[in-house]
Structure 1
Amino acid sequence: MLNVVLIANPETRRVELFQQALTRAGLPAAELVPYEELLAGRCFLDEWDTPHLWFRFDAPERNFAVDRAFIAAGAEVHDTGQHQRIGAIAAYQLPADKGRILYPRQWYLGWRQRLREWARQIHGNVFSHPEDIIMMFDKIQCQRILANHSIPTPHSLTHHLSILSYEHLREQMDAQDCQRVFVKLAHGSSASGVVAYERRNHLERAITTVERVVEQGELRFYNSRKIRQYSDPYEIADIINFLLNESAQVEAWMPKARLEGREFDARVVVIGGKARQVVLRVGNSPMTNLHLGNDRREVSALPKALSSEYWQKMLYTCEQAAACFPHSFYCGIDLLIAPNLRDHYILELNAFGDLLQGITWQGWDTYTTEIAMLLEQI
């Protein structure tokens, strides 16, 4: 009998869907361990030690108390970066400020530190090993791993060096003959801290989810579902300098294939080494994330000019990308299909990219597929 310990924030939809999948499989409900309890030291993962035990870490999202605890944990970690820093006590006292991008590098350092501690406590198996989660949560490191395994990825301007500032970015764009780039917060999720930046002649433009706000002389940055455009170089410099200081992946802004007159890409969920559920994301902006108001389509809506042979090659590339993280049973992969419907690139891997509501494979949602395929393999 499969027994699951689920580490998650109880209020998230993910918990409900995963528990439903266990019920459908005739399995007992997962024992839920809230991140908040673990972080407060009120429980430890080595308390669970029974046969056929599997631990599942899920996204630590939608809970500001948990965010504060990870930021506080990051204060303990030495790091040479130029990111903003805050002490542990002050981190616990941070006031809620909806959407504000707060200490993302320090949050990641705390997340990494705690995941490694929890990994040492585990007696049993894991759906995704903490070290794999750590690597996928760092876009710079993740893209380097993919490139080193000959997985097609957009040209990275940060593959061999760190870009330190807005001016340094402009210099590197000139040196590497790249007029359009994506600047992505290395530890962001759900398109947080993403900028599509382009320069043409003496003009420049940034399309972004970042809202730049100045209040009482303080410069703040917020994650917004409303896509914004900036053309003032000083405002663009503020945003890009903030992201680079917090650690950012910089890569070529690649053209995408079109569907219904708009650009699209695909989220592919690889489970047990096989590409399963796929959702097409049809974009109204360079960022195609569905929560930004973009449209979803079933895989059956792929352009008819995309041959079955090339589509299978693309899915195989997704499987090869997932194989770079062999201790993860599942992950979500963002797949860019080029306008020629042949070339393709892996944009990102998401350790918790399996939340695809309403998208099925052979009638199963992602969570049901994960449970069924795991039972086949153990």
Structure 2
Amino acid sequence: MSDTAPAARPHRLAVVGNPENRRVTHFLRAAEAAGHDRPRVVPWARVLREGGHAFADDEVVRLDSPGENAEVDLLLRGVDDPTRVEGSATWYARLLAAVRSLRGGVRLDDPDELAVLFDKRLTHARLAEAGVPVPPSPTSGGARPVRGWDEVLAAAREVGAARFFVKPAHGSSGSGVLAVETTAAGRVRATTPVEMAPDGRLHNTLRPRRLTEERAVAAVVDALAPDGLHIEQWVPKASLDGRATDLRVVVVAGRATHAVARTSRLPLTNLHLGGARGELAAVRERAGERWAEALAVCERAAARFPGTLCVGVDLLPAAGWRRFLVGEVNAFGDLLPGLTGLPGGPAEGLDTYGAQLAALPAALPLAPPLNESNEPNERPRSAHHAAR
């Protein structure tokens, strides 16, 4: 009888996502280009309808965004119009339940960390507690709920914010965000992609509009409040060619790998809301020796989520390019088609999906040996936690 240990079998890849979505197809193409067998795709709709899914112990499980699918949106938010803003608290609760219904496998996205990442108040507190620079916020940590416009205004005044952002606590992609400006004379205006229909329902549009009457701003905020709100002071951003500028920086396995500059003449820089990509070379030139500091801030933010392989950090360069703050950390922030890694970095020449695949060998635990049962373990393992 041999004392030789059984050989380990290679890991297999699986992704939970919407099969038709470009996020999933980009990942599949990157996996095949990297020499992996085609990953198994488990639709979010199936997970939600069946109340869970089981993975084999040797499957590495990537979670991708459940967005841009009408059936999945209905199952998560309970509304049948994808432009509707309401329902984000229901979306949050149902998504977390679906994530926790996944059994077995090795996770690239830690379920407990996702619960923080999808709550802007909890994310802000986790970053602030670690000394990561963030805009001042009266709602950090979620201990102070705000139930409507009057409470939002009072909370903003307590931190000395005449200009501030109001965000749905569980929103994404600029959905439901208002950039509010107030004056000592009592004037209020806001820039937002939200439009209120005559029946009082809120809808996202792709064209941000300006509300110039306080009652219109208050009506939108009051309608958003039941789903939870996060307030942040509006920090004046640095500019490129007269356009407000921020960055999306992708961090993979603790290293900043990709960055894109986003510019706009409006306070909201989201590319799908009219923002435009800026020249990253110009950003680096403006930042000068502080560029390394900017990337380090993003890596410090990502380090607060060590069980999640990849996050997208929204980095806010303050006016003058003298300091950098973290606006948000996004669990599904890697959709940057065609963008290759930073020159001289660990992902040079790779897109965001290729960078994550290249990081897997160092992040993964040893696969189960060949003579072990292939039945799934009910308890999922985290790639990063297992590697530490």
Q: Is TM (by shorter chain) over 0.5?
A: yes
**Does the 8 A contact of 1:2 with 1:27 survive in 2?**
no
1:4 aligned residue: 13
Map of 1:81 onto structure 2: none
Match of 1:190 in 2: 173
Provide the rounded CA distance (Å) in 2 between the counterparts of 1:98 and 1:306.
39
* Residues 27-106 of structure 1: pairs in structure 2 closer than 5 A: 27-41=36-50, 44-46=52-54, 48-51=55-58, 53-71=59-77, 91=78, 94=79, 96-106=80-90
Q: Tell me the SS of whatever aligns to 2:237.
A: coil
CA–CA distance in structure 2, aligned partners of residues 284 and 2 of structure 1 = 47
Q: Take 2:258 and 2:302, find their aligned partners in 1: how far apart are those partners?
A: 14
Q: How does 1:138-153 map to 2 (within 5 A)?
A: 138-153=119-134
Structure 1 residue 98 displacement after superposition: 4.3
Instruction: Name the aligned partner's letter for residue 311 of structure 1.
Output: W
**Which residue number corresponds to residue 307 of structure 2?**
327
Distance (whole Å) between structure 1 residues aligned to residue 266 and residue 246 of structure 2: 12
Tell me if the contact between 1:199 and 1:205 (Cα under 8 Å) persists in the aligned partners: yes
Q: Secondary structure at the match of 2:144?
A: coil
Q: Sort the Cα spacing of 1:206 and 1:346 in 2 relative to 1 into closer, same or farther, 3 A.
A: same
Compute the TM-score of the two structures, normalised by the length of structure 2: 0.86
2: CA distance, partners of 1:263 / 1:106: 33
CA contact (8 A) 1:257 1:338 kept: yes
Note if 1:364 corresponds to 2:370: no
* Deviation for aligned residue 1:202: 2.2
State the 4+ residue runs in structure 1 displaced beyond 6 angstroms: none
Relative contact order, higher structure (CA 8 A, sep 6+)? 2
Alignment coverage as a number of residue pairs: 346
Residue matched to 1:210:
194
Out of 235-244 and 146-155, give the one that drifted further. 235-244
Per-residue deviation, residues 74-119 of structure 1 (Å, max 9, x unmatched): xxxxxxxxxxxxxxxxx4xx5x33411231111211112222222x
Pair 1:278 & 2:262 matched: no
Other-structure match for 1:170: 153
- Partners of 1:259 and 1:303 within 8 A in 2: no
1:148 counterpart letter in structure 2: E
Confirm or deny: 8 A CA contact 2:258 2:339 kept in the other structure: yes
Consecutive unaligned residues in structure 2, runs of 5 or more:
1-9, 342-347, 365-388
How many angstroms apart in 1 are the aligned matches of 2:158 and 2:254?
Answer: 39
Aligned to 2:166, the other structure's residue is in SS state strand
Residues 265, 336 of structure 1: 8 Å contact kept: yes
Q: How far, CA to CA, are the matches of 1:158 and 1:248 in structure 2?
A: 8
Q: Using the TM superposition, give the Cα deviation of residue 251 of structure 1 relative to its aligned residue in structure 2, in angstroms.
A: 0.7
Q: Secondary structure at the match of 1:367?
A: helix
Contact 1:335 / 1:344 at 8 angstroms: preserved in 2? yes
Q: Distance in 1 between matches of 2:66 and 2:192?
A: 24
Deviations 1:47-93 (A, max 9, x none): x3153x2001100011121122223xxxxxxxxxxxxxxxxxxx4xx
CA contact (8 A) 1:298 1:359 kept: no
Q: CA deviation at 1:340?
A: 2.2
Query: 1:182 touches 1:197 (CA, 8 Å); kept in 2?
Result: yes
Query: Is 1:348 equivalent to 2:328 in the alignment?
Result: yes
Contact conserved, 1:116 with 1:131, CA < 8 A, in 2? no
The Cα of 1:277 is off from its aligned counterpart by 0.5
Distance in 2, Cα, partners of 1:322 & 1:147 = 13
- One-letter identity of the residue aligned with 2:36: L
Deviation at 1:303, TM superposition (A): 5.5
Partner Cα separation in structure 1 for residue 121 and residue 319 of structure 2: 26
Question: 3-state DSSP class of the match of 1:358?
Answer: coil
Give the aligned CA root-mean-square deviation in angstroms.
1.5
Write out per-residue CA displacement over residues 185-223 of structure 1, whole angstroms, 9 at most, x where no aligned residue.
111111001000111122110100111111xxx211001
Within 1, Cα distance between the matches of 2:157 and 2:57? 58
Counterpart-to-counterpart distance in 2, 1:354 and 1:305: 25
1:105, 1:13 → 2: CA distance?
26
